[in-house]
Amino acid sequence: MCDEEFALVFEQVKELSDKIQLAVEVPRITQRQVYRNNPTHTMPEEYYRRVVFIPMLDSVISDLKSRFSRDTLNSFRFTVLLPSNIVNCTDDLLQSSVKEIPSIYGQLLGLTVSSTRATLILAEVHVWRSRQAPISLCQLTS
């Protein structure tokens, strides 16, 4: 699959290089390479696949794994605490999200994992929610 995708990309590169009258060639290869790999190749396509395409794919995969790690995905649960989301959030969703805080961040916050701590955090979140709710004109006049 990687070879097929690279073949498509390389075809586009060859078409573009033909338009600007530039030949696709392998850069000069030294006999003794010290600071980087000097892969064996027979064609420019093979060289660029080994030197550019495959390392770039490895880098992208590595970046995606680090960007979407389990910790990062777990932190997305707490977007319900943002002022724009907390007002429209249901109590069940809010409660399930808040229950996760002591288990994930309890040590950082100096909390022990217990139901009392989760209840305390939930009470604080409800206060935060009430402060973020827009005050209607009816509430001001009564």
pTM to 2 decimals? 0.57
pLDDT in tens, 25-59: 887 766 776 776 666 777 888 888 888 899 999 99
Express each pLDDT in 117-141 by its tens digit: 777 778 888 888 888 776 544 454 5
101 class by beta-carbon count within 10 Å (0-12 exposed, 13-18 middle, 19+ buried)? buried
DSSP track, 104-132: HHHHHHT--SSHHHHHHHHHHHHHHHHHH
